[in-house]
A and B are shown apart, each in its own frame.
Chain A
Amino acid sequence: EAQVTQNPRYLITVTGKKLTVTCSQNMNHEYMSWYRQDPGLGLRQIYYSMNVEVTDKGDVPEGYKVSRKEKRNFPLILESPSPNQTSLYFCASSRGAGNQPQHFGDGTRLSIL
């Protein structure tokens, strides 16, 4: 089954404690993205990757890091989380061209206390 898998689904942690949200896709897609979803703001892109070792900033990259060492994986790293990063996060993958739909994971709800 084609899918994008995120872990964990839920996480409550404290300010400053480094965390990683993993994302894996099994569709051999070149392109992967991270979004955060906040009430009234829709989805905002954090980072995206066009292929292995190729990443770039989205609209709201501050406070986040990513890496793309393998085609299937695209982890999101919060090195020093703060309360304003409390949000619902989605990983997505696609074949990349603008006419290709994105495939989303089920989301990770992060609460930073």
Chain B
Amino acid sequence: AQSVTQLDSQVPVFEEAPVELRCNYSSSVSVYLFWYVQYPNQGLQLLLKYLSGSTLVESINGFEAEFNKSQTSFHLRKPSVHISDTAEYFCAVSRPGGYQKVTFGTGTKLQVIP
């Protein structure tokens, strides 16, 4: 079985400050990892994903996440946040091989303070 833990339910941060949203997973086999973002009154959108290869993955809007197998983590970072980054962020895990269930974390609400 696989699971995802997002330790922080809410993260307030001032505009232009750096932020890290933490995600830890548990799985006995290799994994695929995703970060999704949910803006108010919208569905989830894919932010970035790790499938294989380089452990550092980036999104088009300045977020990055690093896969750390030894620490079973996939933390999301941004060096300078904007008001528009205010949203809820979900970490998710799945596994290789045909259809595989996607397990989501409980989400972290990022509140950017002007």
Residues of A at under 8 Å CB distance from B?
4, 31, 33, 35, 40-45, 48, 50, 58, 90, 92, 96-99, 101-102, 104-107
A41 touches B106 (CB 8 A): yes
Interface contact A40-B9, CB-CB below 8 Å: yes
**Contact assessment for B100 and A90 in the assembled complex, using a CB-CB cutoff below 8 Å:** no
The DSSP consensus for interface residues of chain A is: strand
- In the bound complex, residues from chain B placing their C-beta under 8 Å from that of A106 are 41-43
Say whether A97 contacts B90, CB under 8 Å.
no
**With A31-B99, A42-B105 in contact, is A98–B94 under 8 Å at CB?**
yes
Q: A96 to B44, Cβ gap below 8 A?
A: no
Q: How far is the CA of A40 from the CA of B10 in the complex (A)?
A: 11
Query: Interface size for chain B: under 10, 10 to 19, 20 to 34, or 35 or more residues?
Result: 20 to 34
Say yes or no: A104 contacts B41, CB within 8 Å: no
- Told that A58-B101, A90-B43, A98-B95 touch, could you supply 12 new A-B pairs with CB distance under 8 A? A33-B102, A40-B106, A42-B106, A42-B107, A43-B44, A97-B100, A98-B99, A98-B100, A99-B51, A101-B34, A101-B49, A102-B44
B32 and A98 contact, CB distance less than 8 A: yes
The docked-state distance in angstroms from the alpha carbon of A105 to that of B98 is 23
Q: In the complex the two chains form, what is the Cα distance from A71 to B102 in whole Å?
A: 20
Q: Which of B32, B44, B101, B107 has most A Cβ within 10 Å?
A: B44
Is B11 positioned at the interface, with any CB of A under 8 Å from its CB? no
